[in-house]
Structure formats: C-alpha cells, structure tokens
A and B are shown apart, each in its own frame.
Chain A
C-alpha cells in the first residue's frame, strides 16, 4: 500500500498550474512555515470568471497535490462556483487523503477563498 492514491501522486509529480501570475487580480496566501504548509494562489478574473489560476506551495506531497487539484477545479469557473469549492470535494477528487493530511485540502479551499476575498476587496477599493 502506498502512502497516497495514484491521483495524489500524479498531481504531486506533475502539478498543474504551478507558478505565478504577474498582474494577478487576486492573491491569497494561507498557512505558515512553522506548521510546515504554505499555499499561495494567484487568480486572473474576467467578468467574474476565473480565466487563469496559478499556485505556489511549500509543503508535503498532499499539500502540493491539493493545490494542484483545487486550481484545476476552479479554472474557467465563475467566482460564485469557486466560492462553493469545499475541502471534501478536493479530497474526493484526489481519491481521498490520509486522515492526518485532510488539513492540506482545507488549506487549498482557504487559499482560493482568500484569493477571491482579495479580488473582492480590491474591486471595492476601486
């Protein structure tokens, strides 16, 4: 038995949407280095649609896989839909995570919400 599902290992080995969006419309960063996980999400938003998303993650295999999967699940989606993304949905899409790694999927959910919040705050300030 491997530690992680094939899906987790695939997203860990070949993470999707890795990197930075230079002129992002929303940026969210959650976690802290003390606990060993930091996720940073960059969103490009057009007409309330997430047209592009990138991530950077400092963390374990499941943290990297959760970020990767979460970006895939919101790319091209309306903001309202992205706001509904739950950590359970991320974990399920990865064919499950070990019990002590569930917090990685929670971080992915929080990172996306934080990036959307940042976008909304910026819009409000305009």
Chain B
C-alpha cells in the first residue's frame, strides 16, 4: 500500500488545478502588461482570479490581494511591511509566538537586527496561545502582531477572531500566517479581524511557487522585489499567470468541498489518534479538538523519529518528524519544544497529515504499521531498556 500522509508538507495537485493551468501556457500565454489581445486576455484572467481569490477569504475588495511566489514570500512581505509602518510612527515593538513558521521567525530575527524589539508569546501545552497574554503583551509602541492561523506541525488552530479583535481594538496591525488553514478550514478576513494574511497554493492541491498576501485597504505594503509596476507596484516581476489561475481553481474547489471533506477527514483523524494512543508511552501533541482536520502528531518515548520515518517509508507510508536528525540541526522541532516537550521525547515525534481522499483502510494500515515499527525500534533502543528496567523514569 502507498499512502502519502505528508499533506502539511505539500499536496498532490488536483486535476482541476492542473487543467486550469494549461490554457495559460498553451494559448493565453501573453504578458498581462502587454497591450495586444493575448496580453490583455491574460490580464483579464489575472484580475478575475484576484476577485475570486479575495471572495474566497471573505474580502470584497480584489485590490487587497497581491500574488506572490508562495507563503514564505508573503510572510516576509507582511512582516517587513508591518514593521515599516511601525517605524514611520516610531513604534518599534512586534509580538509573535514561539512556534511560528521559520518564514516568520527568521524575518523577525532580521527585524530585530534592524532595531525592532520582538516579544514571542508562550504556547501552552495544548498548542494554543492565550489571547489574554497577547493583550497583556501589547504596549503603546507595539506596531504589529503576527500569529499563525493553524500550526504546520501540530495542527492547532488559534483563536484568530479573538486575537484579531484585540489587535483591532488596540489599533495594532494583525498578520496571520494562514498557509495551513486556507482551503482547509473556514477563513474570513473580515469576520476574523485580519489585516494581513499569507497563503500558499501547494498546501491546497494547487501548484508550488504560487501564493498570495492579503492586505486590508489602508495597510501599505513595502515591496520586496523592485523592477516593475506589477501588483500595484508592490511585487515586481511578470505575474505567474498559469500558477495563479491554477491556485484560484484549487482554492475554489477546496472551499466548495470544505464542509464535507472536513467532516470525513476529522472522523479519520480521530480514529488515527485513537489507534496510535494505544501505543504505550506515547502522547498526542496539540489540542485534540482545536486542530486541523487532517493533522495527527505524536511523540513516542524511547525511539528516534528519522528511523521511524525510514521504516514507514519501507511500508509505503510518507510522513514527517520533528526529530533533529530530519532537520539537519542538533535541536528537535522548535514547535514541540515550545509546547514543553523535552528534547528526549521531541526526537521521537511523528506527523501524519492526511489528504481528503484518505480511506478508513489506509488509517487502519497506518495504525498497524506505526505500532509495529515503534515496537521494533524500542526492541533495541538503550533508552527504552533503561525506561523499562526502571533505571530511568518515563516521561510519557
């Protein structure tokens, strides 16, 4: 059996998304900035995509959408823009969280070097931040708050509407990295009080290298790429029309199927959680309910994640881990550390992110395979020996 269970990393493109691309490579291949017909046809398609994309996230104003090369670029641009607006008013304080994506955390590092002060909010063991703690952290010189909509590793969904309301009331710009949320759970920039939002096409069955940044009217963006008047001077470079058309089609499809898909997916997720919870000395990472429909993330004590992934790969299962060995550094996932998992346990993590076409049979197969591999690896783990012999105390 072949099971791709790493949909938080990337997704398979949908047929709809692939089909939507082709006309803009084959026939309507003109440059949207050209004045002749196929250029203007491409322009028209692009502006239509902008209207549709805006509507899908609850914005009635197409000019709020800037197409980018993906989520990381959108995050970089959002943070830089928010900071720049702060600097103009002499406000040099930014608030974010400890478990953001590195596109946000590394941008914040850069801003710190440029003189900004950054407060990273604690994430509680349930994988959620507390709005009251955010409120308490906002200062008169706070210019920007950035909190991810749903976490990419442990799938927890933050109380975005409440966070947005606090920021709106305090007059602070609110950005959310919604890369894992858009196309999977309902997102509404108006109701959620969002000023800026980042999204990425390949997380919802669209193409890689395409994404967008939403910026509410009045939030002035700073350009990262100079060299042309595209995207209202906010993002130079000939627009990726095939990618944008494809992303729009993928998002439309994901949103139209969302309520049905999330019901079946949530049931499969819960069955997977139930099955894996039977493995002794294991723990689910993140709140069991306030999480993305397809996300399951566990720590298994006494084993290391990379060897787990390799053996699951041998059994046809593609998954991911927050172990140091898979990250190329000596530290395990900053997300798992942020929710209080200590190193020893964080190395033994497994993330399974199901796709909408996952089946109950696949879920049973995954439960069986993970249980077998964990038991096998524990069989010759000196850590497990020490735990079972009582030489060391179990953490989980």
A binding-site residues for B, Cβ under 8 Å: 3, 9, 12-13, 15, 18-20, 29, 33-40, 55-61, 63-64, 100-101
Contacts and interface: CB of A to CB of B under 8 A. Distances in A.
Contact of A60 (B304, B314, B343, B382): B304
Helix, strand, loop or mixed for chain B's interface?
A: helix
B358 interface: no
Contacts of B385: 20, 56
B362 interface: no
A115 to B, nearest CB: 13
Contact of B307 (A20, A35, A39, A60): A60
6 contacts: A37-B325, A59-B304, A60-B325, A61-B306, A61-B325, A63-B325
Chain B, interface residues (CB within 8 Å), range? 20 to 34
A118 to B, nearest CB: 15
B381 interface: yes
Please name the 7 residue pairs, one residue from A and one from B, whose CB atoms are nearest each other, closest first: A60-B325, A60-B306, A33-B344, A40-B382, A36-B347, A34-B343, A56-B382
Interface in B314-331: 314, 323-326, 328, 330
Nearest to B303: A58
B304 A35 contact: no
B383 interface: yes
A57 B382 contact: yes
Contacts of A15: 380
B365 interface: no
B380 A56 contact: yes
A56 B310 CA distance: 18
A57 B381 contact: yes
B384 interface: yes
B382 A39 contact: yes
Given A60-B306, A61-B307, A61-B310, A36 B383 contact: no
Contacts of A58: 302-304, 381-384
A100 B310 contact: no
